[in-house]
DNA sequence: CGTACTGTTGATCAAAGTCAATTGAGGTGG
DNA sequence: CCACCTCAATTGACTTTGATCAACAGTACG
């Protein structure tokens, strides 16, 4: 079956060794049975590799050979612009499925570069076909991830076209917080952000210098602090107020839930 | 079969009454046999509707009910930003498949609004499943369209982050020219562009006033003229030079062809 | 004919970019 | 352990692009 999307109740998060981040995200939407969990395990563990910081797992222009799931670490998607500079197009966080539709294109339109030491699972075309054949649920889940990523991509355009520097950084931080929160890598205090100020600026369409000043404004303004590779929330309410952040475009269930779980303090503010 | 992508030789363009634009695009990549052509016909003709200018075929926040193929006319995808303004995220041209992955999401993250009188084919979830079941080739083709749209979406970000006003407009015009050219709606002289200056500006992250001045610069500079709803190329070479335009991100075969057909003068310059 | 867009122009302003230096922190080799 | 190197962060001075504000003109249409 190809297009059988429907809702399913939410299961408690499991903690599989190799795919816990992904499982946590998928639990947002899909009750994965033990067979599917095992199936997912198997497919992810088949081809796991470690990648050093700065190394590409996909190179712009290459023919797509496989898709990837980030098991741990950060990666970012970049494209070389006509002026020779690189543009950061997206961040791929633990649990993210990168490039689900890659096999549909002759060539990759962008690179994926490890931003930290990375553990990635690679899934070839044949394996992906097997996976979707053996578990339509997983295919659905992957597809949903892909659709959510497209929605995030669009939000990045809105961010750059409609917001000023402070708002851009604030909304990027909010987005990352929400996405990391879902996989347990952010809490109400903050999260680790393995990027330079220049990277943050690039993703927001700002120069490094201006990013620096913007970050200072946010810090002295008592909103967020980015220091030593960590984002610390100083006043979450003020942050999402400035960012105009609503998490709905991320497609998470909890962010649009009827009855948000009590412990999700951070998330509750995103509604 | 879900993921069986492969290359196929190119067929001559056919001129089916209802789906000629789409067929023309798909011919870029897939040799569609008569059975598939007929199948496509059938699915597209099942639910065709006419939509007036300004009317939405998809509303942000709605649950996705169907995906759409633009049979004729222009539409644009918009999202409401936190500041209350609308942002144009994409243009949907004749032959475009809108929102292939829509069923994967609970809610639409953006609206699709008719920019001209529109003829659209609607395909529900069940019909889409049938279509992909009866013709994997068509599913592949739709998927490729979807992946190409994602690539275009990324290019819009690069455009805004890396280019100045003149370059943005120039590269948008180049992109639209290439996409319209493939479906026969642009030639070496120009193409119809049913947008206001404000729309063009919005898509490029510019104010209407500045867009006006930018268009004048492009016109007096002898690059392109946008007048009375038409874009006229004054100097194509200078235009794509300024835009830094390379059509490869569009994923068209002819734009990356080894031996570009002789008659594709305009396209040849895009390499 | 008004009414309402759309396009056009001018004057002014501010946000962000650019250029140039300096500081700081982490890592390496002597 | 320290000198040294490199890269990231920081700060300042200055410039520029594009936004903003304010009219006004052309055009379309009921």
Q: Which of A109, A144, A157 sits opposite B156 (nearest CB)?
A: A157
Distance of C1' in D30 from CA in B170, Å:
37
> How sure is the predictor about A268, in pLDDT bands with cuts at 50, 70 and 90?
very low
Q: Rounded to an integer, what distance in angstroms lies between the CA atom of residue A104 and that of residue A119?
A: 25
Q: Rounded to an integer, what distance in angstroms lies between the CA atom of residue A152 and that of residue B157?
A: 12
- Checking DSSP bridges between strand A75-80 and strand B111-114, what pairing results, if any? unpaired
- Name the one residue in this structure whose structure tokens are 């120069």: A207
Of the two residues A262 and A193, the one the predictor is more confident about is A193
Distance of C1' in D19 from CA in B210, Å:
8
Q: Rounded to an integer, what distance in angstroms lies between the CA atom of residue B209 and that of residue B213?
A: 7
- Do the chains contact at B3 and A128, CB–CB below 8 Å? yes
Q: Rounded to an integer, what distance in angstroms lies between the CA atom of residue B118 and that of residue B58?
A: 13
| Residues of chain B below pLDDT 50 | 1-17, 256-271
Region A148-168: mean pLDDT is: 97
Alpha-carbon radius of gyration of chain A = 18
Per-residue pLDDT at A109: 95
3-class SS at B72?
strand
- Do the chains contact at B103 and A5, CB–CB below 8 Å? yes
Closest CA of chain B from A101, distance in Å = 6
Which residues in chain B have Cβ-Cβ distances shorter than 8 Å to A132? 2-3
* DSSP secondary structure letters along B182-238: HTTSB-SSEEE----HHHHHHHHT--HHHHHHHHHHHHHTTSEEEETTEEEES-HHH
Distance of C1' in D21 from CA in B176, Å:
33
Interface probe for B, chosen from A1, A142, A158, A168 (most Cβ of B below 10 Å), is: A158
- Do the chains contact at A205 and B160, CB–CB below 8 Å? yes
User: CA nearest B159: which of A160, A113, A249, A62?
Assistant: A160
As given in the structure block, the two tokens for residue B45 are: 């003709």
- Do the chains contact at A3 and B248, CB–CB below 8 Å? no
**B212 CB neighbours strand C below 7 A:** yes
Closest CA of chain A from B156, distance in Å = 8
Is a pLDDT exceeding 60 seen at residue A256? no
pLDDT digits (tens, 9 = 90+) for A205-220: 999 999 999 999 999 9
Is a pLDDT exceeding 70 seen at residue A106? yes
**A242 CB neighbours strand C below 7 A:** no
Is a pLDDT exceeding 70 seen at residue A10? no
Q: Which protein residue has its CA closest to C1' of C25?
A: A228
**B197 CB neighbours strand C below 7 A:** yes
**B154 CB neighbours strand C below 7 A:** no
Which residues in chain B have Cβ-Cβ distances shorter than 8 Å to A251? 105-107, 109
Closest CA of chain B from A215, distance in Å = 19
Q: Rounded to an integer, what distance in angstroms lies between the CA atom of residue B195 and that of residue B28?
A: 27
Provide the mean pLDDT of chain A: 85
Q: Are A251 and A148 in contact (CB under 8 A)?
A: yes
Which residues in chain B have Cβ-Cβ distances shorter than 8 Å to A205? 160-161
Distance of C1' in D26 from CA in B160, Å:
31
- Do the chains contact at A2 and B132, CB–CB below 8 Å? yes
Q: Rounded to an integer, what distance in angstroms lies between the CA atom of residue A168 and that of residue A211?
A: 10
**B230 CB neighbours strand C below 7 A:** no
Per-residue pLDDT at B260: 35
3-class SS at A77?
strand
Per-residue pLDDT at B254: 62
Positions on chain D within 7 A of a protein C-beta: 7-13, 17-22
Is a pLDDT exceeding 80 seen at residue A54? yes
Say how many residues make up chain B: 271
CA dihedral for A162, A168, A174, A179, sign (positive or negative):
positive
**C-alpha distances in Å from residue B192, one per residue of A40, A85, A156, B56, B228:** 49, 33, 29, 22, 9
**A117 CB neighbours strand C below 7 A:** no
Nearest chain B residue (CA) to A64: B5
Spell out where chain B has E strands: 48-51, 56-58, 66-72, 75-80, 86-92, 97-98, 111-114, 118-124, 190-192, 224-227, 230-233
> How sure is the predictor about A35, in pLDDT bands with cuts at 50, 70 and 90?
confident
Is a pLDDT exceeding 80 seen at residue A6? no
**A196 CB neighbours strand C below 7 A:** no
**A212 CB neighbours strand D below 7 A:** yes
Q: Rounded to an integer, what distance in angstroms lies between the CA atom of residue B232 and that of residue B266?
A: 13
Region A184-194: mean pLDDT is: 93
């Amino acid at each position: 079956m190809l297009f059988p999307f429907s809702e399913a109740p939410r299961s408690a998060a499991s903690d599989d060794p190799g795919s816990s981040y992904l499982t946590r995200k998928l639990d947002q939407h899909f009750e994965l049975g033990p067979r599917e969990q095992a199936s997912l395990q198997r497919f992810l563990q088949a081809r796991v590799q470690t990648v050093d910081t700065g190394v590409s797992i996909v190179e712009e222009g290459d023919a797509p050979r496989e898709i990837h799931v980030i098991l741990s670490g950060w990666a970012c998607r970049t494209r070389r612009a006509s002026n020779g500079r690189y543009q950061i197009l997206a961040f791929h966080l633990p649990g993210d499925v990168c490039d689900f539709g890659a096999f549909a294109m002759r060539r990759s339109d962008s690179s994926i570069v490890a931003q930290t030491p990375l553990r990635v699972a690679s899934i070839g075309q044949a394996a992906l076909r097997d996976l979707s054949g053996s578990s339509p649920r997983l295919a659905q889940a992957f597809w949903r991830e892909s659709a959510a990523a497209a929605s995030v991509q669009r939000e990045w355009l809105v961010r750059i076209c409609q917001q000023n520097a402070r708002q851009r950084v604030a909304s990027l931080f909010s987005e990352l917080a929400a996405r990391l929160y879902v996989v347990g890598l952010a809490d109400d205090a903050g999260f680790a952000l393995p990027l330079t100020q220049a990277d943050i600026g690039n993703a927001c369409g700002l120069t490094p210098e201006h990013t620096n000043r913007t970050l200072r404004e946010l810090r002295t303004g008592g909103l967020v602090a980015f220091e030593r590779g960590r984002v610390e929330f100083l006043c979450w309410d003020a942050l999402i107020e400035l960012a105009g952040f609503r998490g709905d475009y991320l497609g998470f269930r909890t962010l649009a839930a009827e009855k948000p779980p009590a412990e999700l303090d951070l998330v509750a503010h995103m509604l």
